[in-house]
Amino acid sequence: MNTFTFAQKMNLQPGDVVIVPKSNLKIVRHYMIFEGVNHFGQECYLENNNYYGVRRITGETFTQENPTYFEVRRFVGNENQRYWAIHRAQSLIGRSYNLLTFNCEHYANHVQYNKDISPQVAISSIAATVLLILCCI
């Protein structure tokens, strides 16, 4: 029996971002970087986790914590750019999570685009501001 790993099924390459929903509504999503396969043959992912900060997890942990996936955002660039993207991802291992300034989406965008941005935070801030204004009218 031939079983494929998640990375094989999705044809993941180092630097690709895997985006999984944090709820059934799929509004808030978690972003992780596929790092590659280590010398033990294990798939490795890098994530910015709200409890642990930036950390490396194995494919086994990934599939246990994320039974379904939502989408894959492919890395766009040449092999040299891919190498530096993974280097950026690894260099941040141990950095603390911050919901507003360095969450999982900031991390993934920093790795792929070298920009610390999080549209989820911006959209949430705008929505909260609108609700606050509507409640106070």
pLDDT of residue 25: 65
Per-residue pLDDT of the chain (137 residues; tens, 9 = 90+): 456 788 888 999 999 999 998 766 666 789 999 999 999 999 999 999 999 999 999 998 888 887 777 799 999 999 999 999 999 999 999 999 998 889 999 999 999 999 887 766 554 544 445 445 557 66
The predicted model scores a pTM of 0.82
- Write down the number of H helices and E strands in the chain: 5, 5
- How far apart CA 50 and CA 115 sit, in angstroms, is 20
Radius of gyration (C-alpha) of the chain in whole angstroms: 16
The C-alpha angle with vertex 101 and arms to 94 and 28, in degrees rounded to 5, equals 95
CATH number at residue 89: 3.90.1720.10
pLDDT of residue 56: 97
**How many structural domains is the chain composed of?**
1
> By residue range, what is the domain housing residue 99?
6-136
Question: What DSSP state is assigned to residue 23?
Answer: S
- How far apart CA 75 and CA 84 sit, in angstroms, is 12
Within a domain: 60: yes
Within a domain: 1: no
